[in-house]
A and B are shown apart, each in its own frame.
Chain A
Amino acid sequence: MSDNLVKLTIDGKTVEVPSDYTVLRAAEVAGIRIPRLCYLKDIHEQANCRVCVVKIEGQRGLKTSCSTKVQAGMVIETDNKEVYDSVSGTLELLAGNHKFECWKCSRENSCEFLDLLRRFNVENDFSNAKLFNQKEIRVNQSSDAMVLDSSKCVLCGRCIAACQKLSGLGILNFNQRGSKTYVGPALFHNLEDAGCIYCGKCIQSCPTGAIRAVDEVKDFERALRDKSKTVVVQVAPAVRAALGEEFGYKIGTNVEGQMFAALKELGVDEIMDTNFTADLTILEEGSEFIDRLTNNKVLPMFTSCSPGWVNYLELYYPEYIPNLSSCKSPQQMAGALIKTYYAKKMNKDPKDIVSVSIMPCVAKKAEASRPEMGRDGYRDVDIVLTTREIARVIRHRGIPFRDLEPIHPFGVLASYTGAGSIFGATGGVMEAALRTVTEILEGHSTPVDFEAVRGLDNIKEATYIIKGQPVNVAVVHGGRAIKEFLERMKTTDKQYHFVEFMGCTGGCVNGGGQPIVSAEIQEKVDVRARRAKVLYSIDELNTFRKSHESEAVKTLYAEFLGKPNSHLSHELLHTSYRKRIPYSEVLK
């Protein structure tokens, strides 16, 4: 190995690094933090922004450290006056076309661009100069989930690369050119119609607020102040594993108790837990699977809790719609129960209930607005807030999150088993389902842990012998892996029985609505693993770890639904899907 190492000098320090390192990486080895903006390790290394420039002795001009490979004997200065002037000049150019409305920006405390402007103390003379033209502002808010706003965009290209490399889609690209360049689908077309699945990888990659989830904070705040309404909130499993990051906790801290306390402080009337409906999903989906397996119906069965994945299937592989479980996602199951079961129990008119969900997800916003997700003219879920949005509300209200005493939720649909909590991580739905399905089919107590479906491999496969029959399962997450798996499935002879899909890599813990982790930290920490660990430890500490052991779920069936896949369950908890064609509006 040693002959592959090269020695070079960076800011007077000598470092020895592998010869395929970039100057940026070598500087990190030397403990030097070179500023960067468009660089997103392994995703976007195109050197667009020119913020990471350094001076290399003997070379003309300045070189971008993210794209320049080290060479033996290089002498590099990362922070001399020339570099400083150049970087602050570049940032000033970007600032000249940026619309600063930081007080209402979704990225108020996670803006990488703002951090750089502060670090370089950048002037902003260009934005108000006489006779200087600002670029045309284009805002694409044609979807229920996401907004593209060119006025905040610094054209770094990170979202474009993320869309290509993480979701495997390439919905976003540059349009026009030169100073007129803007990011969006072709012709700035409606995002949904352009084939976007709302996984939100672009949002997570954006260094500013140019791509954001549709903001529903104001609706939430107004509902809280409406005396005629009962505000019922449900919180998804993955939110508690990440919300703490917005309040300075280390990545991978469980803040469940404080989260509920904060919601109480905000004044919501009832707190439910989506973990409860996760358990319920297992009973519905598990029963559906057993039915398909024992009665020779369409197999493999695909899970349906991730709306990003459902979008993906409807848009790109509609031929597999019959394989998709008819179960609604836990969010929509909870929403339906809140407006029916809960309303009846509390003797309230469903129209007077504002059902709010707090989700790690952007696609959930679009899911809640699907026409089939409601009845009698009302929606089952009225407001969907992302983890980031609820954090903003808590912060803006001045609630001292870190000092709150943890509480337990007080709603009727709030208790859960360990199986419900792991829904938020890739493999979690599969594991929860297997825990219940094997026990029901075998007719006796079976093991709890299904290690093979855990972890961050893009495609995980396992075979379990259930009642003497091999059952082939697979777990797939992220748009790229979905495509890879489905294409492989088309050609292979292997009969899969049950496949879990999630639109985001890592599952919901890494959803598009979760707190944003800066590019620099993303490089060093696998956020997905840290957050997933939280969910698995909640699971481990729970007395009940199988969904069918949940007393609350049993009560619900006894009081209301009858049994899994009953007529009423079908009416409230199941749904249907439709084939969609990208750019169909243009093709018309």
Chain B
Amino acid sequence: MLENIHILICGGTDCHNADAKGIRTEFDRQLELHELTGDAKTVITGCMGQCEKGPIVVVYPDEVFYANVKPEDVEEIVTEHVKNHRPVDRLKIKEPIDYKKIKNYSELKFYSKQKRIALRNCGSINPTDIKEYIGRDGYQALGQVLTEMTPLQVIDTVKRSGLRGRGGGGFPTGLKWEFASKSVDDQKYVICNADEGDPGAFMDRAVLEGDPHSVLEAMAICGYAIGANMGYIYIRAEYPVAVERLRIAINQAKDYQLLGKNIFNSGFDFDIELRLGAGAFVCGEETALIASIEGERGMPRNKPPFPAVKGLWGHPTNVNNVETFANVPVIFLKGADWFKAIGTEKSSGTKVFALGGKIMNTGLLEVPMGTTLREVIFDIGGGIPNRRKFKSVQTGGPSGGCITTKDLDTPIDFDNLVNLGSMMGSGGMIVMDEDNCMVDVARFYLDFTVEESCGKCTPCREGTKRMLDILDRICEGEGTLDDLRILEKLGNMIKDTSLCGLGQTAPNPVLSTLKHFRNEYIAHVVDKVCPAGVCSKLTTFSITDGCIGCTKCAKNCPVGAISGKVKEKHHIDASLCIRCGACKVACPVNSITTKPMGWEKEERHV
């Protein structure tokens, strides 16, 4: 007998860490207790995207979406929903803005503007069961490719689809495959770059955890197209769940003869092995990744020669990112034209983003290219919490830049973001509000690159460190206007002369904030003030007329620097204040300010 009710429990890393497995065990126990095992079955799936609200449970066919489920809630869901078909209102997910409870899953704004191609199976199938993937037309594309198409036709299809590399650069995938296919060699390789390293980015992890077979299938298709029989997935060891599911998937695919010798009786052999990386950011750069697989120190090599000509162990190699691969099978199932029709003219298809920072819905989403930043942040993301004002969105991780309010209506695609001084990157998207100091944000990203620079070439190794030193100096209140000029000079030099993409893009967070938030830098170096109140040495806390005299600030001040009578405006003694910011957090009416009056009205160009 087939079960009528499917209880899907998100098993993405966040929900996994929030004890999704425990929830499942409890469901299974409760179902048995209430003799419902024949009616309902539980499934651990990949990421559903609403990571902050985990563990997430979706009950089908009603499409009821429960958030923050705890083990003690399980019995209620089982008795009420599964047994009596009365969904538990208390646990249903709510819209973040109007707190409206949602009847079913697809009604949620978070999902309604999304289009899931790369994430098509994430959150809806059991990633550890190949049959579920096959049930969703899995491996059909591979079969079609191997039995009906020539390698040239495969490459042509990918080219026509307009698919571009989702790892950051946006290089046309079909072209990349074509280069590798044209290199003559008995041995070629396909590499899947799963060394996702941007702070706050977890798109690839979600794909690998939720739908590992889509990547395996695409790698085999790529192998057929370029003439490779061996594939490697280079994945960071910090992704244990993804590694485990990939291992299971590879073994199952081998059992089903979808990997190995003579796949679909076509005479085509293809094998895949995992290689675990130690988590160096630079190993996401394809030549450094190749060096790492070879057992060398993970340092980038000069290009040319490109990997398509001379890659792994000197053989032609095609390296694509996880998300790029995840798109490939669909292109064959639904056709290049179908894919090309999605998105914008030069950037077809969709893009997965990991949304984080000052945003209501932290999580994973996939939108068609051409969706505006405003739609992503305010509609899907639910806007900025705590009634704060939007300030900037950072895309492209440590290689990207900050985009401001005036560019929020820009349709997202590879070229538009580059024109704004940022880049698509792998898909990290960090939202910042008025409480973020842009100098500090630039410093955060630069600190990351300084830490992660491999140390091979001079500009990146020494230059980024010096830029960081200067930013530290600025945040300490020791900066000068001259420092801003040195930052620009150094930044441009590093961009122009670094060996690999890491160095060439490392100055972007600094250069883009210098461009868009120059006033804030000037406030730091000339006025010795941090307008956002982040850089403690440059912050003076004061209370505005909006104070309602609730006394919360005074109660929370650890040094007793705040005085005032109930229902009267309070006052901060600057000589006692240690600038910890506790009052600002405590204030219910946002009346504690760090802004010196009037500084932002003046536009200064220095």
Contacts and interface: CB of A to CB of B under 8 A. Distances in A.
B493 interface: yes
Residues of B contacting A: mostly: helix
Given A50-B459, A90-B497, A131 B472 contact: yes
Interface string B453-465: 1111111011111
A435 B534 CA distance: 83
A131 B476 CA distance: 9
A96 B302 contact: no
A103 interface: no
A472 interface: no
Contacts of B464: 178-179
Interface stretch (A3-11, A62-70, A324-332): A62-70
Given A69-B304, A130-B473, A179 B455 contact: yes
B458 A178 contact: no
B450 interface: yes
Given A174-B297, A178-B455, A179-B455, A131 B497 contact: no
Interface stretch (A41-49, A300-308, A401-409): A41-49
A67 B463 contact: no
B490 interface: yes
A86 B493 contact: yes
B333 interface: no
A444 interface: no
B600 interface: no
Chain A contact-residue range equals: 35 or more
Given A173-B297, A177-B455, A47 B465 contact: no
B302 A64 contact: yes
A62 B455 contact: no
A96 B304 CA distance: 31
Contacts, number: 103
Nearest to A126: B466
Contacts of B244: none
B458 A93 contact: yes
B455 A61 contact: no
Contact of A177 (B453, B493, B499): B453
A180 B451 CA distance: 9
A180 B455 contact: yes
A64 B504 CA distance: 14
Interface in B280-320: 280, 282, 297, 299, 301-302, 304
A86 B496 contact: yes
Interface string A244-277: 0000000000000000000000000000000000
A90 B458 CA distance: 7
Contacts of A47: 302, 457, 499
B62 interface: no
B451 A178 contact: yes
B452 interface: yes
A96 B458 CA distance: 12
Contacts of B472: 131
A61 B497 contact: yes
Contacts of B453: 177-179
Contacts of B504: 61
B75 interface: no
B303 to A, nearest CB: 9
Contacts of B466: 93, 96, 126, 132
B465 to A, nearest CB: 4
Interface in A179-210: 179-181
B92 interface: no
Given A96-B466, A130-B473, A130-B478, A86 B497 contact: yes
B489 interface: yes
A49 B452 contact: no
A46 B500 CA distance: 12
Nearest to A63: B497
Nearest to A66: B302
Interface residues of B, number: 37
Given A46-B456, A177-B454, A94 B462 contact: yes
A133 interface: yes
B549 to A, nearest CB: 41
A26 interface: no
Given A89-B490, A131-B469, A49 B455 contact: no
B461 A50 contact: no
B164 interface: no
Interface string B468-510: 0100110010100000000001100101111100001000000
Contacts of A62: 496-497
A132 B469 contact: yes
Residues of A contacting B: mostly: loop
A27 interface: no
A61 B495 contact: yes
Nearest to B449: A178
A190 B490 CA distance: 38
A178 B302 contact: no
Contacts of B498: 50
Contacts of B282: 177
Interface string A58-99: 000110100101000000000000000110011001101100
B496 A61 contact: yes
Given A90-B493, A126-B466, A50 B458 contact: yes
Interface in A535-576: none
A109 interface: no
Contacts of B302: 46-47, 64, 67
B396 to A, nearest CB: 18
Contacts of B455: 155, 174, 176-181
A72 B174 CA distance: 28
Of the listed residues B280, B450, B469, the one surrounded by the most CB atoms of chain A closer than 10 A to its CB is B469
A64 B473 CA distance: 32
A84 B530 CA distance: 37
Given A69-B304, A130-B473, A176-B455, A155 B495 contact: no
Contacts of A586: none
Contacts of A422: none
A465 interface: no
A48 B499 contact: yes
A131 B473 contact: yes
B497 A97 contact: no
Contact of B458 (A49, A69, A133, A180): A49
Given A94-B458, A131-B478, A132-B466, A53 B304 contact: no
A48 B457 contact: yes
A179 B462 contact: yes
Interface in B496-527: 496-499, 504
B497 A48 contact: no
Contacts of A177: 280, 282, 452-455
A467 B516 CA distance: 90
Nearest to B282: A177
Contact of B452 (A48, A96, A178): A178
Given A131-B472, A132-B469, A178-B451, A89 B457 contact: no
B291 to A, nearest CB: 11
Contacts of A130: 473, 478
B476 to A, nearest CB: 6
B460 to A, nearest CB: 8
Nearest to A179: B465
Of the listed residues B282, B299, B495, B496, the one surrounded by the most CB atoms of chain A closer than 10 A to its CB is B496
In the complex, the 6 A-B pairs of residues with the closest C-beta atoms, listed nearest first: A181-B455, A93-B462, A178-B453, A61-B496, A179-B465, A67-B302
30 contacts: A46-B301, A46-B302, A47-B457, A47-B499, A48-B458, A49-B458, A61-B497, A62-B497, A67-B302, A85-B493, A86-B496, A89-B490, A90-B459, A90-B497, A97-B462, A131-B469, A132-B466, A174-B297, A174-B299, A176-B455, A177-B280, A177-B454, A178-B451, A178-B452, A178-B453, A178-B455, A178-B464, A179-B453, A179-B465, A180-B455
Given A89-B489, A131-B472, 10 more contacts: A46-B301, A48-B456, A50-B459, A85-B493, A130-B473, A132-B473, A155-B458, A174-B455, A178-B455, A179-B464
Interface of B: 280, 282, 297, 299, 301-302, 304, 450-459, 461-466, 469, 472-473, 476, 478, 489-490, 493, 495-499, 504
